[in-house]
Structure 1
Amino acid sequence: MQEVFIEGGLIRKLWPVEAHAYRDHLLRLDADSRRSRFGGAVSDEMIRSYAATLDAAETIIHGFYVDGILRGAADLRLIPPATSREAEAAFSVERPWQSHGVGSALLERCLLAARNRGIKLMHIACLSENHRMQQLARKFAAEFSFDFGTVVGKVQNPRPTPLSLMRELVTDSHSFAAACLDFQARLLRPAAPAADGTQPEGGTASAGAQNG
């Protein structure tokens, strides 16, 4: 149950030990994609800080991987308190992989994760000129309101079902196996600098919204 795209890419969930891969992906975004993802210009240091503060209990990230490298991500964050039943979602895809259906697949996984956690409203915030994100959300029945140059989409999710829970369980098991294979492959690669110019963690292993 992993969608296959160009160049053998696949969608899978990220695990806490892969925070560095998410950081490097965000650092690789071009200026326009970075602005679309964060709603404005952000520095490399801000991105490093953002990636370092991920809360595994309240954040679910699905990634688009090509040859073991994260090229796109859907970041779903639960809004406290838990009784609010709301979440925020943000998407990022590196430019060479945009407009290939990656964003749609990431959003679909994000909706499944939100549904299985009882989320009733998923907010998707993007700049008013980000028409690609707006069109993507509208494909999933989002309704938009405009306020000070920002578009906020709310997606109503149905209740979880045994089938939806099983779908996520199966994809999670596949994702964990794929993550293990990626880790083993990185151990066998020559060391390479990370996206921010630093040496990768672990010696021999390489570190590893705009929308699709």
Structure 2
Amino acid sequence: MNEERAPGIIRKLWPGEVQIFRDHLLRLDVETRRSRFGSAVGPEFIEHYAGRVFRSGAVIHGCFVDGILRAAAELYPFSEILPSEAEAAFSVEAGFQNLGLGTLLMRRTVLAARNRGIRTLYMSCLARNRRMQQIARKFDADLTFHTDEVVAELKAPFPSASSLAREAMADAQGVAGALFQAQWSAGQRVLNMVLSPANAA
């Protein structure tokens, strides 16, 4: 699946979008939450987690379908100064799995890591999470199997003028897409108000 066929807009999340990210995590079903966090977590945990993500220096990409965040990828550098290693985590809502969103978000995450000088990217998932393991293998990651966990390790190439330009272009397209969605949503709200039964009366 190529990025042009993605069912939505993939872009970076902004610091002011904590609530949007939180609502996405709250929509994850029990099994998807377990796959994302490695254990069962409740709403209180997610509220606290979402509140601190944007203060941690993480780079978050999301896929917005009809203006709603349905999938996210988180990149956590291990150091604030010239990090060479980072951890990545992914979450895709149940109704939007098997559409290639994980692969597309992985591609954006690897590009972001590369352009920040991060050479080694780690991902951990439950041993039964075959989907995540398949995505990691697409990027030539080395998988280490433990009792109930799998750790994927992949190497990112060094940044280049081309990779920096690709990220800048993706960011510009994401902003343009977000503005278009906002304008479309505002237009729909106005149209609904005009066509509502109260106005018709």
Q: TM-score range by the shorter chain?
A: 0.7 to 0.9
Give RMSD over aligned pairs.
2.0
2:52 maps to 53
Number of paired residues?
188
Please identify runs of 4+ aligned residues in structure 1 that moved more than 4 A: 183-190
The answer to whether the Cα contact below 8 Å between 1:12 and 1:175 also exists between their aligned partners in 2 is yes
The answer to whether the Cα contact below 8 Å between 1:2 and 1:10 also exists between their aligned partners in 2 is no
SS of 1:155's equivalent? strand
SS of 1:74's equivalent? strand
1:4 maps to 5
| Partner Cα distance (1:117, 1:3) in 2 | 25
Map residues 121-200 of structure 1 onto 2, 5 A cutoff: 121-184=120-183
| Partner Cα distance (2:185, 2:46) in 1 | 23
1:33 maps to 32
Larger Rg: 2
After superposition, what is the alpha-carbon deviation per residue over 1:109-165, rounded to whole angstroms, capped at 9, x for unaligned? 000000000001010110111111001100100001123411111110110010000
After superposition, what is the alpha-carbon deviation per residue over 1:46-102, rounded to whole angstroms, capped at 9, x for unaligned? 101111112357211111111000000111111125344111100111111111111
Hey, which of these two has a bigger chunk of helix by percent? 2
TM superposition score normalised by structure 2: 0.86
- Percent identity between matched residues is 47
2:43 maps to 44
TM superposition score normalised by structure 1: 0.82
1:18 to partner: Cα distance = 1.4
| Partner Cα distance (1:18, 1:2) in 2 | 23
| Partner Cα distance (2:155, 2:102) in 1 | 19
| Higher RCO, 1 vs 2 (CA within 8 Å, ≥6 residues apart) | 1
2:194 maps to none
SS of 2:5's equivalent? coil
| Partner Cα distance (2:141, 2:158) in 1 | 17
